[in-house]
Structure 1
Amino acid sequence: MQNLYSHIQTHANNTPNKTAIVFKDVSVSYEQFDKFTQKVRAWINEQSIEKGRIGLIFLPQTPQAIMWFFGLMSAGIIPSFMPLPSHKQDVKKYWESHQQLIELTNPSLIITTDEWLSSFDKITEKIECTVYDNNVLSSYISNETVHDTTYQVAFLQHSSGTTGLKKGVALSHEAVMDQIESYSTSLSATSEDVIVSWLPIYHDMGLIACTIMPLILGQTIILLDPFEWVSKPISLLQAITEYRGTLVWLPNFSFEHLRRTVKTKKFEGLDLSTVRAFVNCSEPCKAETFDRFFNHFQDIGATQEKLQVCYAMAETVYAVTQTEVGKVVNKIWVDEQALLESKVLLTSRGNGSQLLSCGKVIEGCQVKILNPDSSELVSSDCVGEIVISGKFLFDGYYHRPEKTKEVFDGSCYRTRDLGFIHDDELYVLGRRDDLIISNGRNYFAHEIERIVNDLPNIKPGRNIALGVYSEQIGSNEIYLVQERTKEELTDEKLDKQLIKVMRQAVQDEIGLLLRDVILVEPSWLHKSSSGKISRELNKSKLLEFLNKDKL
């Protein structure tokens, strides 16, 4: 068993001039990558930094950040990417939460830019941690000695933090290599594949699928800046065209964002024919999203066979399932009412809800569907909690034994995701945390949000459905909080019309009468570092808002 870094050395020796990463006008070969990491090792040794402790990387998304990550790992430091604050975040809350995280993690070092050096003075004062400028390596000579950490923790992935303090998912070299071997086989991936990605490298999809796996396999990564992609989505398609990209991972909202923003008049010069798979992952994948994406982009090379699905999470390194590349993903129709009662009842095409398969479980992983409140298997026609075992599970949440114990018994991981298996393929419905029980009926918050997002004059991704317990009725009442766009002016008459349309759409589709729809100003909703809307923080904010309204 080799450690992860040994593969970089192999590529540097065998294909030194091959491009590892392209970022804007910067191109880094595998030889250059290896030499940078050698300097990191020399620097670590000279500084006499304790091995086996954490090194946090607070750097912009660039090739240098990735080389620092592998350099620290090869020197015996456990690296972890961390996000820098964005203009959309509350900076005070960002530093408060990261101070807690840094104190909990107790890193030996932090790598950041000169711009942010002073920001760490206060938040590291309670621990023995030194903060370094990322440009410290200029005078260092390469050190070829690699620290042997094959059976130890390789790095930490941090959760997106939508339900409180981020959890550091500890992953060993062995687990990561087993995952890459299994997942790359399911994709028929080779060293000739070209990965094009805007995804943040501090979360699992961007880190594993689009950074670590490609580098271990000797592929080329076309790296985009996440913030630039959001403002210019067509840049992803332009990069695919220019570099003949073959594999692209995207969360469901990205498919919709591309379809809405890249108009047909901008298609000239774009070519998606080289792509083997656009892999939908990270959030519930929608059949309607695939249909809309295919219909919009088919003239420039999108096909139904290229639209694929993966079910993945940091606790399993990455992938649990993958649909078969080159074939159209399976879809089924189920009775909506039965589904709300946790039963799976197939219907004819066009009747009920259409669900998209997440594919078969990849080799080395096992999935069971259990009763969410016990360890009993549910019958094949019932919805339950997805429970995972296998050879590439995480080692636990770093310095969080109480959180580890809640979901992991050493052999099985309880995902808190709800789903079922049909014809040996997994169908994922959503998070248990997204499930709101109101008047004896089950509602998925993301389904309520989807209904509203599909309405005209609504900016998708700017709302949240939340359940608030009412002592008067003895059950949850469901509220929808919707952000206005910056362009919208407050108009009481128009607001009432918009609220009426949203309430009616939800009632028509799933029979739910919302307790209220609350329109709020832009940026009101709390988001995590991955851009996910935080249910816990926003529920607290809603309760505060409702209590003020009662005064």
Structure 2
Amino acid sequence: MQPFNYSTLVDYLRDLAKQQPDRIAYIFLKDGESKEETITYQQLDQQAKAIASQISSLPSNNKPVILIYPYEQSLEFISAFFGCLYAGAIAIPCHPPQNLLAIKNLQGRLISSQAKIILTTQKLLTKTKHQLDPEIASQLVWLNTESIKFNQSINYQIPQFTPDHLAFLQYTSGSTGTPKGVMVTHQNLMSNQQMLQLVFAGNSQSIGVGWLPLFHDMGLIGNVLHSLYLGIPCILMSPLAFIQKPIRWLQAISHYRGTISGGPNFAYDLLCRQVTEAQKQHLDLSSWELAFTGAEPIRQKTIEQFSHYFADCGFRREAFYPCYGMAEATLFITGGLKNEAPIIKYVEEKALEQNRVVLSTIAKPGSCSVISCGRAWLDEKIVIVDPQSLTPCPPHQVGEIWVAGSGVAQGYWQQPELSKQTFQAYLSDHPEQPFLRTGDLGFLDHQELFITGRLKDVMMFWGFTCYPHHLEQTVQQSHPAFSLNNGAAFSINVAGEEKLVIVQEIERSYRNCLDVDELVETIRWRIFAEHFVDVYAIALLQPGSLPKTSSGKVKRSFCKEQYLNQNLKAIAIWQSPPSSSDLTTVIHRYLNPMTHLRRYSGLFRGKLRRFLYQIRQIDK
């Protein structure tokens, strides 16, 4: 069977159910290890038809349909998702409402989408009804899919719909603002799947393994739907099972001989910290052909450390596959060539602050590493654009990444003005083709895309550009008490001036032996020494309390909101005295020989002299 001959995944699944009915489509590990639940293509087809039949009988079947399922009931979620597709309904995958924030997000999606039907389990139905606002809950049709019988699918006729019919709304992560419902069509899905097959080079012998949340685009499209597209089994586990015991991910790859699996950068870091030498003795990762990584900044240190640490388990560095994508483009945008080592280059930090790219093939003082996220595929086009003039940037200049292609979604649900701004951008000198404005910053080098930051996250202090992930990395490398990938840097307005705030989680082992003064001074000095920025405030957080999206991205804008509203779960908060953060005072403080200047020796003094010279140039 050739999936690209089909116009929708619905048509493809129906034929899979006929041609290989008893082949296992998905295996879910209920305990994250050995307790299996399975579903075949025929069973999935029958369950989807039965759910679709029930949806079609409801009075609000032309409205979007909300899906909320516990992490441990992934197979029920998959059946419900395809049930919506079979009914021609617009599915909205949602985070299971485990806390007040999740309930708030669910209510926001109910209001913005105007959904009137919720598909869920009996347990969550009862619980969620009581958690939602009574007025909202009373207007909903609640459908417990566990009570639906297979025989309801016998006479159901799947409606006819075209490839441009909406399949589902993929809500954005909310890492830079309020989540929005991205309108994804069946054609968008098929185009993105064709691209994934091309770059992942999957075939009938491939095996997928995943732990990512299924309501998130990487988990749903990258794991669940791509395995279906290839007609191969996919082994799944709850994201909670992975977080509780990270080695379960590698054990599943080892046991089931997984070939395609991946996750954000933090997941690979976590494995390096948590998996012991004794546990490694029982792992065989030689089958792992493609370890994709995306959704957050990809770090060279992570690639090198993971590749080295698990080399004796059979993992090959060439399996690492950095890629770039977003919900607005369905999922995948760029990726490299399979089985080729990640492309790593070095850029001068000072030039980068001026949005210039000065490349080097080796690391040297004053440079930082950047990792290629690959190139465009199929009909995609990528342009680096000056966000102010809307003209293409010259070579080796940082600009906003614009994307065009059949994988780009249709816009934001019921937000025409925002959709126009984001999905219908035109180059000032070539107004014939619309582009998606990603909001990400980067540059192209020999058609390879390098990400440097987010347009909304870029900060400016004393005339210098700062990227939050650079500041966060500096903090987390400055002391073992700081948890990796669990910090946020953002700016706030204080008396008309932008000030830097650092929010950082503390490692659990340090909670009861903190020297707050030492940690504060460490952060302040390291940030100034490496970035020439004065820190205005620092919040040290309890472990696990930093706001993140479902894919592990830090929600900087929400961190900022919580900081301003004093809602962070902080162990300690430090703030600079009112009179001590003007430029003159800051410079004198760091020049004062009685301070900790000696900690940074001649290298720091040289940097500081260069900084003072630049300040004088700005003043002129």
Instruction: Give the TM-score normalised by the residue count of structure 2.
Output: 0.83
Say if 1:210 and 1:425 are closer, same or farther in 2 by CA, change over 3 A: same
Classify 1:98/1:141 alpha carbon distance in 2 versus 1 (closer, same or farther; 3 Å).
closer
Q: CA deviation digits over 1:71-98, x for unaligned, max 9?
A: 1111111112100133xxxx33332332
Q: Match for 1:294 among 301, 307, 317?
A: 307
Write out per-residue CA displacement over residues 491-522 of structure 1, whole angstroms, 9 at most, x where no aligned residue: 67x11112222233333333333223232444
Structure 2 partner of 1:120: 129
Per-residue deviation, residues 99-119 of structure 1 (Å, max 9, x unmatched): 122022111310122223242
Q: Determine what percentage of the aligned residue pairs are the same residue.
A: 27
Pairwise CA distance, 1:193:
1.2
d(CA) in 2 for partners of 1:477, 1:548: 11
- 8 Å Cα contact 1:198/1:236 also seen in 2: yes
SS at match of 2:484: coil
Would you say the 8 A contact 1:309–1:359 is kept in 2? yes
Q: What amino acid sits opposite 2:417 in the alignment? A: E
Q: Deviation at 1:29? A: 1.3
Q: Name the residue aligned to 2:381.
A: 366
Match of 2:516 in 1: 495
Aligned residue among 352, 356, 362 for 2:371: 356
Question: 8 Å contact 1:397–1:403 — kept in the other structure?
Answer: yes
- The answer to whether structure 1 residue 460 and structure 2 residue 484 are counterparts is yes
Note the 1:183-332 alignment, pairs <5 A: 183-332=196-345
What's the counterpart of residue 483 of structure 1? 505
> Residue in 1 aligned with 2:90?
78
Question: In 2 relative to 1, CA 149–124 (structure 1 residues): closer, same or farther, beyond 3 Å?
Answer: farther
Q: 2:183 aligns with which of 164, 170, 174?
A: 170
Given the superposition, is the C-alpha separation of residues 37 and 348 from structure 1 closer, same or farther in structure 2, using an over 3 Å criterion?
closer
> Are 1:539 and 2:557 counterparts?
no
> What residue identity is the alignment partner of 2:40?
S
Query: 1:238–1:525: structure 2 CA closer, same or farther, 3 Å change rule?
Result: closer
1:523, distance to aligned residue in structure 2 (A): 5.2
Distance 1:219 1:123, change over 3 A: farther
Letter in 2 for 1:499: V
- Residue type at the aligned position of 1:114: Q
SS at match of 2:65: strand
CA, structure 1 residues 387+124, in 2 after alignment: closer, same or farther (shift >3 Å)?
A: farther
What is the alpha-carbon distance in structure 2 between the residues aligned to residue 326 and residue 479 of structure 1?
41
Of the structure 1 ranges 47-56 and 256-265, higher mean CA displacement relative to structure 2 is found in 47-56
SS in 2 for 1:101: helix
Deviations along 1:324-366, one digit per CA (max 9) or x if unpaired, are 1011121111111101110000135121111111111111211
Q: Per-residue deviation at 1:457?
A: 2.4
- Corresponding residue for 2:12? 7
Distance 1:369 1:502, change over 3 A: same
CA apart distance, 1:129: 2.8
C-alpha contact (below 8 Å) 2:505/2:545 kept by paired residues: yes
* Range with bigger deviation, 404-413 or 294-303: 404-413
Once the two structures are superposed, residues 286-321 of structure 1 have per-residue CA deviations (whole angstroms, 9 ceiling, x without a partner) of 222111111111110111211111111111111111
The residue type equivalent to 2:449 in the other structure is L
Residues 491 and 499 in structure 2, CA contact (< 8 A), matched pair in contact too: yes
Runs ≥4 residues deviating over 6 A: 546-551
| Paired residues, number | 543
8 Å contact from structure 1 (residues 106, 129) kept in 2: no
The 3-state SS of whatever aligns with 1:461 is strand
Residue 128 of structure 1: how far off its partner (Å): 4.5
Could you tell me whether the CA contact under 8 Å between 1:169 and 1:396 is conserved in 2? yes
Equivalent in the alignment of 2:69: 59
Secondary structure at the residue paired with 1:325? coil
The answer for the alignment partner of 1:508 in structure 2 is 529
* Alignment correspondent of 1:470: 494
- Is contact 1:40-1:72 (8 Å) kept? yes
- Kept in 2, the 8 Å contact 1:103–1:124? The answer is no
- Partner AA of 1:418 in structure 2: L
Residue 448 of structure 1, CA deviation:
1.1
Q: Does the Cα contact within 8 Å between 1:437 and 1:475 map onto a contact in 2?
A: no
2:547 to 523, 526, 543: 526
Q: Secondary structure at the match of 1:361?
A: coil
**Of the candidates 408, 411, 418, which is equivalent to residue 393 of structure 1?**
408
Determine which of 420, 428, 443 is the counterpart of 1:420.
443
Q: Secondary structure at the match of 1:146?
A: coil
Letter of the 2:110 partner, please give it: I
Matched residue, 2:614: none
**In structure 1, distance between residues paired with 2:550 and 2:199:** 30
2:21 corresponds to: 16
Structure 2 residues not aligned, in runs of 5+ = 1-5, 30-35, 426-433, 567-572, 579-620
